[in-house]
A and B are shown apart, each in its own frame.
Chain A
Amino acid sequence: MKRLNRYLIIWWKLTLGTTQIAFQSRFGAVLFLLGKLLRYVFFLLFLVLLVNRAKVIAGYTFWEIVLFYATFNFLDTLPQFFFRNVYRFRQQILNGYFDNLLLKPLPSLFHPLFGGSDMLDLFVLILSAGFIIFAGWHSDHVTVLRVLLYILLLMNGFIISLGFHIFVLGTGILSTAVDNTVMLYRDLTQMGRLPIEVYQEPLRGLITFVIPVGIMMTYPGRALLGLLSWQGVVIALVFGVGLLFISLRFWSYALRHYTSASN
C-alpha cells in the first residue's frame, strides 16, 4: 500500500509536469481540446443521421449504437490518458534518456507507461462516461449484474490495452519503431467504434480474436445489453490476463536485449 502511494505521488508529479508543458501554449491546448471534442461530436452526428434513416445498424437501435460508440471512446481515451508517455518513448530511446530511467528505483515499465498523463483527455473521458450512463438509461435490458459485468469487461479492455502498449514499448526497444506501431494499434481499435456485427467474416473473426478489438470494445456493451454468454465473459477475461502475461514476458525479453544508445 505504501509503495502504491509512492507510485501515485510520482505519477501525479510527472502528470503535473506534462500538463504544465501542454499548457505552455494555452492557445494550442484549447485548439487540441476543441479538435478532440469536435471529432467526437461530428461522428456522433453522423451516427444520428445514419440511424435516423436506417433505423437499426446490424440489429442495434440508436441508443445501443451510442452505447458502443461511447464505450469505444472511453476505452480509447483511458489508455491515452494514462499511457501518453508511450508516444514519447522512441525519443527517449534515441537520445539515451531511457538509460537514465533504468537507474531510478522504479519498475522499468513505470516511466515508459506512466511518465505523465494528458489532462486534455479527461474531458473526452467525462463526456464518454456521460453518454454511457445516458445510453444505458435508455435501455430496457440493463440490470445490476449486467452493469457489474460491464465494468469488469471495461477493466478487462483496459488490461488488453495495457498489454498492447507494453508490446509497443518492447518493440520500441528492439527496433525503435514506436510511432507507427502505436498508431497502427489506434487505427485497429478504431474499428471498435461500431459493434463488430457490422463487419463481415473473415474480418469479424480477425478483429474479435486475432486482434481483440471486439473483446476490448464491443464485449462490455454486449454484456450490458445481455447479449454476451458467460463463455464469452470467461474467454474475454482469459484473453486479457493471458495477453498481459505474454506482454510482460516480451518486455523482459526486450529489456535483456536492450543496447544503450546513450550519450
Chain B
Amino acid sequence: MKLYLQVAKNTWDEMMSYRFNFAMWRLRNVLQLLTVYYLWLAVTPQNGHIFGYSRSLILTYVLGASLIGSIVFSTRTQEMGDNINNGELSQFLIRPFGYLGYWFARDIGDKLFNVSFALAELTIIYFILRPSIFLQPNIFAVLLTIGAICIAVVMNFFLGSLLGMIAFWSPEVWAPRFIFFTLVSFFAGGLFPLDILPVPMQRVFAFLPFGYLQYFPLQIYLGKLSSNGLIQGFCIALVWCLLLYFLVTWVWRKGLRVYSSEGN
C-alpha cells in the first residue's frame, strides 16, 4: 500500500514539474465549461423549465458535470499503450508490484491534482458568475453521489486500461481512444443530461456504461431518481464494474502471452 501511495505522490510531483502545460490544460477545461454553461443559460428561461430542469438545476448540473468529469476522466492509462508498444512494460514485469495497481495509483495522483485545480476554478467561476445553484440538503443523497463517483472512477480506469491493452495486438492505440473519447464526451452526460434524449435512446443508454461515469452521480445529487431508479442504477454500474474487471484481467493475461520486447 505504501508503495502505491508513493507512486501517487510521484505522479503529483511529476505534474508539478510541468506546471505551464498543466495550467494550459486547465484553462482549456474552463473554456469548455463556459461554452456549455452559457449555452444552457441562453436556452433556459429565467423562471421556467427546459426538459424538466429549472435554471438552477441545469446550471448545477453543468458545474457538477465539470467537477465530476475532472475526478472521473483524469487518467494516465493512455500511457499504458505506449508503455506496451515501446517495450517499457518489460521493466514493470520484474518490479515488486502489480502493473494495474501501479497505473491506478498514478490515476489517483493525477485525479487529486486535477480535482484541487477544478475546485479552485469552480469557486472562482461561481464568485464571478454568481449562478443560482442547487445545494442538496439530504446528506444520504450526497453520500450516495460520492459512492457513484467512486464506482465511476473504477469503471473509467478499467475502460482506459482495456484501451491501453489494445497495444498487445496493435500499435494503433490512439484511434480507438479517440472514438471512445468522442462517445464519452456526448453520452456520459457532460454536455447535456441524458434524460433529454428520446425515450428509446435513454432505455439503451441505461444499459451502457457511459451514463454511469457522469450522468448517474449527478442525477442522484439533484434528487431526480426514485428509490427504484437508484437501486437499478447502482446494480447496473456494479455489474459493469465487475464485468470490466474480469475482462481487464482476462485481456491482461492473454496480452502477456503474445507480448514480446527486445533491446531494453
Contact = CB atoms under 8 A, between A and B. Distances in A.
B179 A194 contact: no
B117 to A, nearest CB: 15
A229 interface: no
B35 A27 contact: no
Contacts of A200: 38, 41
B172 A38 contact: no
Interface string A31-43: 1101100110011
B43 A57 contact: yes
Contacts of B32: 187, 190
Contact of A35 (B20, B27, B178): B178
Contacts, number: 87
Contacts of B181: 35
A53 interface: yes
Interface in A173-198: 177, 180-181, 183-184, 187-188, 190-191, 193-194, 197-198
A191 B35 contact: yes
Chain B's interface: helix, strand, loop or mixed, by majority? Answer: helix
A38 B50 contact: no
A49 B20 CA distance: 38
B183 A57 contact: no
Contacts of B182: 35, 38-39, 42
A49 B197 contact: yes
Interface residues of A, number: 35
Contacts of B31: 184, 187-188, 190-191
A4 interface: no
B35 A177 contact: no
Nearest to B180: A35
Interface string B183-198: 1011000011000110
A199 interface: yes
B142 to A, nearest CB: 29
B50 to A, nearest CB: 6
B21 interface: yes
Given A53-B50, A57-B42, A184 B24 contact: yes
B82 to A, nearest CB: 15
A143 B186 CA distance: 36
Interface in A34-71: 34-35, 38-39, 42-43, 46, 49-50, 53-54, 57-58
Contacts of A184: 24, 27-28, 31
A203 interface: yes
A177 B183 CA distance: 29
Contacts of B197: 49
B24 A31 contact: no
Nearest to B45: A54
B243 interface: no
Interface string B123-155: 000000000000000000000000000000000
A181 B21 CA distance: 9
Contact of A34 (B39, B179, B186): B179
A27 B170 contact: yes
A198 B42 contact: yes
B250 interface: no
A229 B192 CA distance: 35
A107 interface: no
A157 B191 CA distance: 27
Interface of A: 25, 27-29, 31-32, 34-35, 38-39, 42-43, 46, 49-50, 53-54, 57-58, 177, 180-181, 183-184, 187-188, 190-191, 193-194, 197-200, 203
22 contacts: A25-B175, A27-B175, A28-B175, A32-B175, A32-B178, A35-B181, A39-B182, A49-B196, A53-B50, A53-B196, A57-B42, A180-B25, A181-B24, A183-B24, A184-B24, A187-B31, A187-B32, A190-B35, A193-B35, A194-B39, A200-B41, A203-B38
* Nearest 6 A/B pairs, CB to CB: A31-B175, A180-B24, A28-B175, A28-B172, A54-B43, A42-B186
